[in-house]
Amino acid sequence: MDLHGWIDTYLDHLRFERALSTNTLEAYARDLGSLAHHVGGDRDPSSIGPDAIASLIASNLDRGVSARSGVRQLSALRGFFRFLVRERAVGEDPTLLVDRPSTATKVPRALSHEEIARLLDAPDVSTDRGSLHAAMLHLMYASGLRVSELCSLRVSDLDLDRGVVQARGKGDKRRFVPVGEVALLHVTRYLKQVRARHARPGESVLFVSPRGGRFTRVGFWKVVRRYAIAAGIFPLPSPHKLRHSFATHLLRGGADLRAVQAMLGHADLGTTEIYTHVTADHVCRVHGKSHPRARE
């Protein structure tokens, strides 16, 4: 079987045996497709050595691909070649001899409490569209959901009595996340007063567009951009910035790191620990402004 054939087989393995999400599968397909384009899709995988892998990563970096994307691609390739080793299609994993691109730790910038307040107050909740947008923005910030999780929420995932929402994360892993009272009020109002007028018959998804279909990730990106401009927030935040802000504000308020990890759905605590850098910076700034011996 040639490289193209093994890539298809591996993607089927990820789809059916590991139940990865559509977005994750598309990312794997792009990264592996880049390898096939670089070395030739009709090539025997056993003939691909470390030099070919390193050449691909270096070529991408030369084209302006970020080091972070290079790390992600190398991780995808390592998973692919581990699979090939298990299937006895190759004798050894060539990616083990390839160094990861160097990446400096990028500390995410959270929106301030005042910026969050302006953004959440921007929609006109007297209209159906504004009520929908307010409910989505409030729930995103209150629960720290990923955009894909927010858009795929079903009505049955929301427990108004307990004040929690059930999110479906990567690999269809599920977790329960508490939701604050203000966000619940907005979601409840949207659910009882707006959704029924727009949802198509049989639609189970919580947030529907004015046309009655499912709200998309791109659609929500436009919502965040629209209200950020209205609220005078620059540079314009991405939807993911609300997730960053959720985690950062929790930690600044004294939340336990493990609890934040569970709410974010991070499998690795190290992924969550990046937010502690933000909190430490905040503490240093407060100390610098407030402590009488902080400055000469």
Which are the catalytic amino acids?
146, 170, 240, 243, 266, 275
Q: How far apart are CA 112 and CA 206, in angstroms?
A: 28
Q: Report the distance separating Cα 156 and Cα 52, nearest Å.
A: 49
Q: Which residues contact 211 (CB under 8 A, 6 or more apart)?
A: 198
Q: Are 120 and 141 in contact (CB under 8 A)?
A: yes
The Cα 109–Cα 116 span in angstroms is 13
Classify residue 171 as left (phi > 0), alpha (psi -120 to 50) or beta: left
Distance, CA of 133 to CA of 220 (rounded, Å): 8
